[in-house]
Amino acid sequence: MFEIIKPAKPDPILGLTEKFNLDNRSNKINLSVGIYQDSQGQTPTFDSVRKAEEILLQNESDKSYKPIIGDEEFGLLVKDLVLGKNITKQRENTAKSIHTPGGTGALRVVMDYFSKFHQNSVFWISKPSWPNHKQIINSTNLNFNEYAYFNSEDNQLNFNSMINDLSNVKSGDVVLLHGCCHNPTGIDLNQSQWETISDLLLSKKAIPLIDFAYQGFGDGLNEDSEGLRKIVQKNPESIICSSFSKNFGLYSERVGSLTILSSDNLVLENVVSQMKVCIRSNYSNPPSHGVDIVKLILSNPTMRKEWEKELSQIRNRMKKMRNDLVLKLHKLDSKKDFSFIKSQRGMFSISGLDKEQVNELREKYAIYIVDSGRINIAGINSNNIDRLSESIVSVIS
C-alpha cells in the first residue's frame, strides 16, 4: 500500500531549517524559522524560566494527567494576560481560556470544532499569512478565502482593499486576524483600523479568530493586546489562539491557549464541552511541564517582573536590529529603499526580495530566508549584519 505514496513537499518554514542544518558552510545564517536569537546567535532559555524549572523540579510530586482542557489556574492567568484586568472582570463567566499544546494546537482545536458544527463557515485569512493557517484549514473539510493585506508596491498595509474584501464576509464566517506582529509582514493595524474592523465584523455577524503568537514582541504586553481587546469588547463571540513559544522561549514545550468568548455562560460551557471532545480524540490532554513554568512565572510577582524585563530586552534588540539593518543597507547605497523595515513590528519583515533573489541568497551566500521574502529580524546580530547587508545589496543589483 505504501509504495504508491509520493513524497510531500518540505514545509516552507521548518523544511528550510532541515536544509540549513545540512549546509556545512561555516558562515551560514538562518533567518527563516521564527525562533528568537540573541546577539550571539543563541536561543538561551530565559533566566526566569530556568528558575521556575528549578522550583518545579524540587516540588513536583507526580506526573498524572492534566484535565482535557488543562490547568484551570493557568487558564485564569492567561485570560488576564490576554484580555487585561477590566475585560477579564466584565467577562468573568463569558470568557474561558483553556490550555493547548502551542498556538498551533489551539488553531487545530478551533478548526476541528468548526468542521464538526459549522461546516458552512468560510475562514478568511490575510494574503499573505502564516503558511500553516491554510494547511490546518485544508486538513479539515472547511473552506477559506483570502483578504488583501499587503501592498508589495510600497510595502505597506493595503487597508482599503482589506476592507473591500472583508465586505464580502457572510454571517457565521470566521475572520482570522493576527493580534500583533503580523506573520510574515510585520505590519499591524493601527488602533483606528482595529476599530473599523471590529465594527465591520459586528455588522457582518462574523466570528473574529485572533492568532496571538507574539504578545510582548511588538510594543509591550498590554500595548500588543489593544487591538484584540477592541474586537472582543464589541463582538459578543470571538476566539483567541495564543502561543507562549516566543514570549517565554518555550518553543519545544508546546505551551498555548485557546480563549473563547460568548455572550452567555451556558452557551460558552456548551461550546467548551464540544471542544473537549475534539481534544480528547486528538491529543487527549495537554502536556504539563511548559504550562507549569508559565503558571509559576505569571503568578509570582518577582519572577513575573524578571520575565517582563527579559521580554523587553528581546523587544528592544529586535527594534535595534531593524534600525541597524536599514542603516547598513542605506550606507551601501542599496538601490531599493528598505526604510519600511523600521516601522514593522515583531520578529518578521517581508523584505520585498523575490524568489530568485531568496534563492541566490541561499545558494551563493548561505543565507536562509523564507521563499516569500520573509526575514527573521531576530536572527541578525553584529557578527552577521555586514555580510547580510552586502549579500542583499548584491542580489538586488
> Helices 47-59 & 289-299, crossing angle to 10 degrees?
110
Q: Residue 95: beta bridge partners? A: 261
Closer to ligand LMR at the Cβ: 13 or 325? 13
Closer to ligand LMR at the Cβ: 227 or 379? 379
Taking CB atoms, the residue at the shortest distance from ligand LMR is 34
**Residue showing cell 503568537:** 213
Closer to ligand LMR at the Cβ: 20 or 130? 130
Tell me, yes or no, if 89 is annotated catalytic.
Answer: no
Closer to ligand LMR at the Cβ: 123 or 348? 348
Tell me, yes or no, if 307 is annotated catalytic.
Answer: no
Closer to ligand LMR at the Cβ: 103 or 227? 103
Burial class (CB in 10 A: 0-12, 13-18, 19+), 18: exposed
Q: How far is the CB of 254 from ligand LMR (least distance, A)?
A: 11
Q: How far is the CB of 187 from ligand LMR (least distance, A)?
A: 15
Helix (H) or strand (E) holding 268: helix 265-280
Query: Using CA atoms, how far apart are residues 300 and 214, in angstroms rounded to an integer?
Result: 22
Q: How far is the CB of 301 from ligand LMR (least distance, A)?
A: 30
The contact set with ligand LMR (CB under 6 A) reads 13, 33-34, 130, 132, 183
Q: Which residues are within 8 A (CB) of 387 and not within 5 positions of it... i.e. 6 or more apart? A: 27, 29, 365, 367
Q: How far is the CB of 370 from ligand LMR (least distance, A)?
A: 8
Catalytic residue among 66, 79, 230, 246: 246
Bridge-based pairing of strands 143-148 and 256-261 is unpaired
Q: How far is the CB of 373 from ligand LMR (least distance, A)?
A: 14
DSSP-derived letter for residue 28 is: -
Q: Is 34 helix (H, G, I), strand (E, B) or coil?
A: coil
Whether residue 279 contacts residue 116, with contact meaning beta carbons closer than 8 Å, is answered with: no
Nearest to 243 by CA among 345, 89, 130, 117: 130
Catalytic residue among 211, 292, 295, 328: 211
Tell me, yes or no, if 211 is annotated catalytic.
Answer: yes
Whether residue 139 contacts residue 281, with contact meaning beta carbons closer than 8 Å, is answered with: no
Number of continuous H segments (helices) and E segments (strands) in the chain:
14, 13
- List of long-range contacts for 276-283, beta carbons under 8 Å, 24+ apart: 276/68, 276/69, 278/109, 278/112, 278/113, 278/116, 279/68, 279/69, 279/100, 279/109, 280/68, 282/108, 282/109, 282/112, 283/101, 283/105
Closer to ligand LMR at the Cβ: 33 or 122? 33
Closer to ligand LMR at the Cβ: 52 or 109? 109
Catalytic residue among 130, 165, 292, 295: 130
Whether residue 179 contacts residue 228, with contact meaning beta carbons closer than 8 Å, is answered with: yes
Q: How far is the CB of 348 from ligand LMR (least distance, A)?
A: 7
Q: What angle do CA 77, 80, 83 make, to 5 degrees?
A: 145
Which positions are catalytic?
Answer: 130, 211, 246
